[in-house]
Amino acid sequence: MDENDRAQPAEPAASQEESRNVSLTVPGKPDYLVLARLALSAVCRLTTLEALEVADLKLAVTEAASEFVHDGDDRDEDTIAFEFRLGGDRLELELVGPADVTSNFDRELSHVIIEATVDESDFSPGRTLLVKQLP
């Protein structure tokens, strides 16, 4: 038996911590936000959150993403990156996208909605962090 014919050891399985994080990058267009909401729903299935809390989080992520979304064709290369990190006592949702896509009024309204639906939030140009404490 040739040394190349021998079975190679399997790659180590992803750790439990790695498997509880989801990353997704989509074009910065409204039609793609449903993919982020679906990914968030899948992550939430690993928690003890109630359906109403999951609905609130989906609203919060949609509002946060709206800051990075544009309807015109002049910015087709823009993307939104979503990172969902599930820790022992919290779920973090981080969004990164182009800065200054929406008006100040729309941004302020989104922030009010977000702050009513999550436990912590941090807004900076091109980045939003949302945190939901887990029961």
Domain spans in the chain, listed from the N-terminal domain onward: 20-133
What is the three-class DSSP state of 3? helix
What is the three-class DSSP state of 32? helix
Asked whether 92 and 121 are in contact (CB, 8 A), the reply is no
Average pLDDT over all residues of the chain: 86
Looking at the chain, the whole-number percentage of residues with pLDDT higher than 70 is 81
Residue labelled with tokens 């599930």: 86
Instruction: Classify domain 20-133 at the CATH superfamily level.
Output: Histidine kinase-like ATPase, C-terminal domain (3.30.565.10)
What is the three-class DSSP state of 127? strand
Which residues on neighbouring strands pair with residue 12, listed in sequence order? none
- What does the pLDDT read at residue 109? 93
Distance CA 8, CA 22 (A): 28
pLDDT band at 4 (very low <50, low <70, confident <90, very high): low
* Distances in whole angstroms, Cα of residue 35 to Cα of each of 13, 58, 59, 72, 115: 26, 11, 13, 20, 23
Specify the amino acid at residue 13: A
The mean pLDDT value for 23-36 works out to 94
Neighbours of 30 (CB within 10 A): 13
pTM for the structure as a whole: 0.82
Pairing of strands 120-124, 127-133: antiparallel
Residues in contact with 98: Cβ distance below 8 Å, sequence separation at least 6, in sequence order: 28, 68, 70, 75, 78, 126
Name the DSSP letter for residue 5. G
pLDDT band at 19 (very low <50, low <70, confident <90, very high): low
- Over residues 86-130, the pLDDT tens digits come to 998 999 999 999 987 788 888 899 999 999 999 999 999 999 999
